[in-house]
DNA sequence: TTGCATTAATCAATCGTTTGATTAATTTTG
DNA sequence: CAAAATTAATCAAACGATTGATTAATGCAA
């Protein structure tokens, strides 16, 4: 069946996404990935051509869904800039748990700035998400909702940096927050609300005229 | 001479620090490191025992200097909490350029949470730096300088997360800030002042009673 | 000469990939 | 429908290349 084939490819991609995010591209051997996925080693090359092709396929699977999520928000004319900001933070807080492995993998790959097609695509992808936030912030200034001397690029760096710091250093973050952020229940019950709440308060204090 | 030997070891460590930070532990082969350092491959094992030993030596060289930099600040009784916070941001902003490669390497290694001695040591090291910041923030609350409902762990995550985001994704950060943050001159002339200034304003807005 | 530093050569292990063969599924043909 | 032909999926085995590490020989200063 075609369905089984897609499911199997999807399963391989799921496993590979996790293993790559845990071990890095070079650290994750094709033997380990195929072993954990329960498929023969040759299947990786059969389906994805090469290890790099597999790596690329992981990202391509997500890129499309990533693209249009935030775009609607930015173009909404009915709500103010601060409301958009709040909704942006909500969306961004939700995605923390959902794409944990992928986020790790994404920024890990961006870290070592290789000069290949993949890195270029990923950078474009991330910059598109960032652009939406940029629009919201500029709109807020233009409307007089936000202070006019805010540092927009740094705000963006803060928003994503804080999230990445917590996700990418789970042991340190767990020690800081005093609960295990690797535990899915804890993420849902405590981490997500805490991040959202904090980031709203932080942005409120920095962006808004008081 | 003993001096030459130490210099050569130091040179190898410098090169290895850079190569590891660029390629990751698994991606950086001993042949590449020794080649870039201009020494025979066997010298790495001769000096450091193994690849992992070399990796460990990079961190051990820095750990000692890391340790006591911030401790004096925290114990200073003559200045207020907000002043300490400002000085902390100054110190933290300065170190951005100095230990660029090392910072990358450090958080890259923390990212893939291996369970070995090295990761434990690194975690302890980072947590010690974090503890000083924690003390300052608690002191600020106790003194009534800071709002009493601030989220201390998240503030710490923001401070380090923002810095790491910029350092670890240089291409994205350069696109955001509209100047090349890989250029040493730009780091000195623009990035460092901008980060310090922004972070002070951000913290002022969030921490202080208005 | 003695002891440390350095080298080229070599080691076993593992890497990503390819192969040829076999099985399962699908399509075509009579 | 049933048999034959074709395609797709899967496998164990092996490939050459590269890995980290070791060896034995050499260089060299004290």
Distance CA B210, CA B199 (A): 17
The distance of A121 to chain B (nearest Cα, Å) reads: 12
Task: Give the residue with greater pLDDT, B125 vs B210.
Answer: B125
Query: Is A171 within 8 Å of B110 when comparing Cβ atoms?
Result: yes
Query: Is the pLDDT score of A204 beyond 60?
Result: yes
- The pLDDT of residue A108: 83
Task: Give the residue with greater pLDDT, A115 vs A56.
Answer: A56
Give me the mean pLDDT over the B41-55 stretch.
Answer: 95
Q: Is B63 on the interface with A (CB under 8 A)?
A: no
- Burial (CB count <10 Å: 0-12, 13-18, 19+), residue B111: buried
Whole-number percent of chain B with pLDDT over 90: 63
Give me the mean pLDDT over the A174-203 stretch.
Answer: 95
The total of other beta-carbon atoms located within 10 Å of residue A184's CB is 12
Query: Is A205 within 8 Å of B205 when comparing Cβ atoms?
Result: yes
Q: Is the CB of B29 under 7 A from strand D?
A: yes
Distance CA B81, CA B136 (A): 6
Task: Give the residue with greater pLDDT, A150 vs A69.
Answer: A150
Query: Is B194 within 8 Å of A25 when comparing Cβ atoms?
Result: no
Distance CA B63, CA A116 (A): 34
Give me the mean pLDDT over the A112-124 stretch.
Answer: 77
pTM of the predicted model, to two decimals?
A: 0.87
Q: Is A186 on the interface with B (CB under 8 A)?
A: no
Query: Is the pLDDT score of B130 beyond 60?
Result: yes
Query: Integer distance in angstroms from CA A1 to C1' D5?
Result: 20
Query: Is A112 within 8 Å of B165 when comparing Cβ atoms?
Result: no
Chain B residue numbers touching A205 (CB-CB < 8 A)? 205-206
Query: Integer distance in angstroms from CA B36 to C1' C1?
Result: 36
Q: Which residue, among A91, A119, A93, A92, has the nearest Cα to A107 in the 3D structure?
A: A119
Q: How confident is the model at residue A64 (pLDDT cuts 50, 70, 90)?
A: low
| Averaged confidence pLDDT in chain B | 88
Q: How confident is the model at residue A7 (pLDDT cuts 50, 70, 90)?
A: confident
Q: Is B158 on the interface with A (CB under 8 A)?
A: yes
- Helix %, strand %, coil % for chain B, to 5? 80, 0, 20
Query: Is B112 within 8 Å of A153 when comparing Cβ atoms?
Result: no
Summarised one tens digit per residue, pLDDT across range B71-98 is 666 677 789 999 999 999 998 898 876 7
Do the beta carbons of residue A110 and residue A51 sit within 8 Å?
no
> Measured CA to C1', what is the nucleotide nearest A38?
D10
Weakest mean pLDDT among A71-75, A180-184, B45-49, B102-106: A71-75
Give me the mean pLDDT over the A17-35 stretch.
Answer: 93
Chain B residue numbers touching A165 (CB-CB < 8 A)? 157-158, 160-161, 164-165
Q: Is the CB of B43 under 7 A from strand D?
A: no
């Amino acid at each position: 069946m075609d369905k089984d084939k897609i499911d199997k490819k999807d399963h391989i991609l799921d496993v590979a996404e996790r293993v790559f995010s845990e071990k890095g591209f070079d650290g994750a051997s094709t033997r380990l990935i195929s072993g954990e996925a329960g498929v023969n080693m040759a299947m990786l090359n059969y389906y994805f051509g090469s290890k790099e092709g597999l790596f690329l396929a992981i990202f391509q699977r997500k890129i499309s869904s990533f693209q249009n999520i935030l775009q609607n928000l930015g173009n909404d004319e009915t709500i103010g800039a601060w409301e958009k900001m709040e909704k942006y933070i909500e969306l961004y807080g939700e995605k923390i748990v959902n794409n944990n492995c992928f986020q790790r993998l994404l920024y890990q790959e961006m870290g070592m700035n290789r000069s290949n097609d993949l890195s270029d695509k990923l950078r474009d992808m991330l910059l598109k998400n960032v652009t939406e936030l940029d629009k919201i912030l500029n709109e807020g200034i233009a409307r007089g909702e936000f202070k006019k001397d805010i540092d927009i690029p740094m705000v963006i760096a803060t928003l994503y940096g804080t999230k990445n710091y917590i996700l990418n250093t789970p042991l340190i973050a767990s020690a800081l927050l005093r609960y295990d952020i690797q535990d899915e229940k804890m993420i849902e019950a405590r981490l997500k609300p805490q991040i959202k709440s904090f980031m709203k308060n932080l942005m409120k204090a920095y962006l808004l005229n008081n």
